[in-house]
Amino acid sequence: MRFNRRPLAVILYAAAVGLLLPARALSEPTAQEVLDAMKQASDFMMNTVSYRGGFVDKYTDDLSERWGEVPARPTMIWVQETGTVSVGKAMLDAYKRTGDAAFLAYAERVANALIWGQLPCGGWHYFIDFDPEGTQQWYHEVLEKAWGWEEFYHWSGNATFDDNTSIGAASFLLDIYETTQKPEYRTPVEKAIQFVLDAQYPLGGWPQRYPLSHDAPFEGRPDYSPFYTFNDGVISGCIQFLLRAHALFGGERYHDAAIRGMFFTVLAQMPRPQAGWAQQYDMDLKPAQARSYEPASVNPSQTVENIHTLMKYYKMIGDRRFLQGIADAIEWLKNSPLPAGQSSDGHTHAQFLEVGSNKPLYAHRSGTGVEDGRYWVDYQPGNFPDHYGMQVTIDVDALRAEYERVNALTPEEAIVEGRKEAEAAEPASTPAADTIAKMIQSLDSRGAWVEELQVVDYTDWKYKPRRIFRGYSTATFVNNLRALSAYVQTRSER
């Protein structure tokens, strides 16, 4: 469960370091030149940076330190993005766009690392440690001091759906199997599918973690990991994965489970006058608290997400029951703007609204770490945590207009539109030739994109300065490889 922060701009290419590859002075690169750069960069990442085919998020230039969401051990790879799954998907994309088998071989190496770390239940934890005997000590030395990362404080040995972790890994293995048809990939894919089926509650929703565990209460609150969880796409991600499994393998139970999940979204809507959704619900389907700064509440941003998701479901199967509560949800959003004087930076709504009173709830924190730090929630705006947005911006009029347009579609028209949208999924954009040339030039002699990076201090990222260093970003590699792959494909199609 990541902190809810404004996304940073993606760095497309880094400053050149060391010897630069020969370039044609920003002239249009040939497809072969770009392919050569792709291979050099991929060779460096897979054969120098990678550990047993997997990755974390950031590395120092000398590879002496590495980070996932928090500092990682040398024997760790991160399943949670940006990490191993992200690289595997980019490698497979490069293979499909260029036809070069070297990228498929690398994608399979990534897949094998994920298969090694697949848990007996069929899912994945946030990370894989190839030296599991040292993991518990790392928890004690690092994660118990990671103020605010409460999802990492305790591990029950189960898998997580949070941050697309298990579904991301399972979807990538599904891609690998679909591409190669190798039987050694079908078995872990089927194991992952069964994990998703096993984790589904009878009402249709999914918990944050599975198998269920109740052994991580925190500050007098129950363990929130068994709660029905919409936050960070848990339920919608499971549904999309089951639909993909059904499309590839058939099997009505996959389809039926997905449909049951869709209708759980309808079931979980709060009654009027607060006809929105919570981020998570307890076993009585009441909004529940998760981390210290995520109070039990009705959540406007989750409500907007669920409205769009329900319209998507309508366009998938044409059942108007998916639309029946949207008008009430939009009316609630319209009637729940920030009180006068509470808006910061033009925001329109609070992140959390109290159940019953509909008053904005705001989280705050004080202290400098786990020893003396605390979070609390009240009605007072201001003094927000740096790591979690307490206010959001919602265009209610635009949301209403889109709902009214979709609502006017007959079920048959909605399904046709949904199919067209699925077929017209946007491909990766192709940067201009001079941008590609700069990207190639910025590779050093080893095939590395070295750049200035920063990480927060996991013990307190409010009062302690960020760590700044030169090194490698997995996100930069993934974004650059995808851009170069798209360029090669475009050049080849001319």
Average of pLDDT values for 86-106?
98
β-pair type (159-160, 209-210): antiparallel
pTM above 0.85, yes or no: yes
- CA distances in angstroms from 457 to 147, 165, 454, 471, 478, listed in the order given: 9, 23, 10, 17, 25
Say if CB 152 and CB 130 are below 8 A apart.
Answer: no
User: Would the pLDDT of 56 be above 90?
Assistant: yes
Nearest-angstrom CA–CA distance, 188 and 124: 12
Residue 209 main-chain phi, psi, to 5 deg: -130, 155
Alpha-carbon distance 209 to 199, whole Å? 8
Rounded distance between C-alpha atoms, residue 43 and residue 29, angstroms: 20
How many CB atoms sit inside 10 A of residue 47's CB?
11
Residue-wise DSSP of 278-308: -SEE-TTS-B---STTS-S-B-HHHHHHHHH
| pLDDT for position 424 | 83
Question: How confident is residue 155, by pLDDT bands cut at 50, 70 and 90?
Answer: confident
Q: What is the pLDDT of residues 31-45, one digit of tens each?
A: 999 999 999 999 999
Count the neighbouring beta carbons within 10 Å of the beta carbon of residue 442: 23
Q: How far apart are CA 16 and CA 407, in angstroms?
A: 52
C-beta neighbour count of 366 within 10 angstroms:
11
Q: CATH classification of 31-335+394-493, choosing from 1.10.150, 1.50.10, 1.20.58, 3.40.1350? A: 1.50.10
**Quick check: 118 and 187 in contact, CB under 8 A?**
no
For 417-434, the pLDDT digits (tens) are 999 999 886 666 778 999
Give the three-state DSSP class for 375. strand
The HSE-up count of residue 157 (CA atoms within 13 Å, CB side) is 4
CB 261 within 8 A of CB 318: no
| pLDDT, average across residues 405-422 | 97
User: Model confidence at 24, in pLDDT bands (50, 70, 90)?
Assistant: very low
Which among 23, 42, 146, 74 is positioned nearest to 435, based on CA atoms? 23
Q: Give the 3-state secondary structure of residue 339.
A: coil
Q: 306-344, pLDDT tens digit by residue?
A: 999 999 999 999 999 999 999 999 999 999 999 998 987
Nearest by Cα to 293 from 167, 138, 462, 454: 462
For residue 26, the model assigns a pLDDT of: 61
DSSP state of 231: G
- To which residue do tokens 């939009």 refer? 330
Measure the CA–CA gap between 46 and 39, rounded to whole angstroms.
Answer: 10
Question: What pLDDT score was predicted for residue 368?
Answer: 87
Under DSSP, is residue 79 helix (H, G, I), strand (E, B) or coil?
A: coil
Judged by DSSP in three states, 281 sits in strand
Burial class (CB in 10 A: 0-12, 13-18, 19+), 96: middle
pLDDT of amino acid 426: 64
Pairing verdict, β 58-60 and 66-67: antiparallel
Looking at the predicted structure, is the pLDDT value of residue 5 above 60? no
